[in-house]
Structure 1
Amino acid sequence: METQHILVWRICLILALLPHSHQCLSVHFQNKGLLYVAPGRDLVLRAQFQITPTEKIIMVIWDRQTEKGQGQVRLADHQEAPGNPLDQKGALFRVENISSSNFGVYTITVTDQMGNEQSANILVREIVSAPVASLSLQCEVANDRAQWDSPVFSWLVDGVELSNQTANLSADGRRLYVSGMKGHNYTCVVNSSLGTSVTYYITDSPTPSQSNQFWKIGILLAIIIVLLITCGYLSWKCVQRRTTGTI
């Protein structure tokens, strides 16, 4: 009995030391977990494989089902063939002009030559509204000299200093998000133990206040011209009347 136990133990030990290639097979998406796409746009899913040198992917299957796990649909079934070898590094799946019926959970299943399978899934949801674009100015200073303190950044727009309450600034103050702002002259002031540095950014278009001034000046000039023409015409008529009466 003792000899039998020793034999079983040795067999288990040998099996434990044997390589299990199927445990090395894995697949994952570059975008993990969740992906948003707008209707009418293209969806591109990229999956990457991890295999040992002795393994080989012989089949790749793509499925889609609803977010609640209902209505699974087979989308594609790619099998290794002499004239059509599979990419051993990864797979790509594309849906053009995506619609409401294309949203859900996408699953990729890969199979190696030993029949081992591994799967990965990703949830594709419809985005309700496009993200808001933002434009920013970043203020930088060369950090090639040792100093004991960190630089402090201040921003002015058309001579008026900004704060976190009046503008959208980054946490360190380096970046100013100018979306929605109507300034003309942007100034960044950097203060530290090394001194003070100032840089400017001037837009080509005038500020609304300057535009209003231009409009006011233009209207005033137009009024003056009209008055001059009217006065000149009236003066000419008076001269003509006097001339006609004299004759």
Structure 2
Amino acid sequence: MEVLCVLSWRVAPLLLLLPCASKSLNLRVLNEGPVHVIPGSNLLLRARIESTPGDKLSMVTWEREAETGSTPNRLVLATCQGSGPSPCTGTRPNVLANVNVGEEESTLQISGYVPEDGGDYIVTVTHQNGNQTSARCIVREYEAVHHVSVSINMSHSLLVCGEAWGTDPHFSWLYNRVAVTQTVGQVSQDGTTLRITQSPICGRFTCMVQNQLGYATATYTAAECETEEEHSGAIAAVVCVLLLLVCGALLGLLFWWRYRRSGHARERLREHVDEQLH
């Protein structure tokens, strides 16, 4: 009897939970947040409603509140009554909502998105028994690339590219207006860093940052690189100078030899004249 009593006390709470479990509901927004929207385009949010057969929906509500703030004020965007493909009422002409219980999905579309439409979007499902389940998604404006800069670490031969606050920036490098090759340097996996392998470091290194709204660039200019013609000309000039020095030395040696020879001849002639006089 004691064993049966203990078992009854353990099973009773589980039996009480069964009705609640049968009416459990899973609600989630399918968009991976934060969602970035280009001004003027359409925002489309999708929510998955996974309910049990015995759990009937009374209402689906889409709301928006500020992403930051101590006391955010919620704005109702659309409400959908009943179950099945139900009519929804939007609070603005450019707001369109829909609920399809058969497909277990609710959607919210805002056409002509403006920056003021950004914020924390909340979808709330109200059960027939009055319980509510909510899910959220952050929506922000898709911003262009701003303030690209390039800095150099000479000790490590590194160029680092930075960008202020553009959405989804993609980095690439140009060397003298063409794509960087392995002979010039190695670009990091995220594209923000260029390790220069050529020596000496010379020419123009340009970082290009772009997204769906355009691109911006920044350039680091090193010393001018010598071209092959300039290098060949420098070698030719050095060779000419060396040849001139050699020729000058030979001519000087020749003049010196002729001067010494003429000097010896004059001394011998003077000695011969002196002998005849004596």
The alignment's TM-score, normalised by the length of structure 2, stands at 0.43
Higher RCO (C-alpha under 8 Å, 6+ residues apart): 1
The alignment's TM-score, normalised by the length of structure 1, stands at 0.48
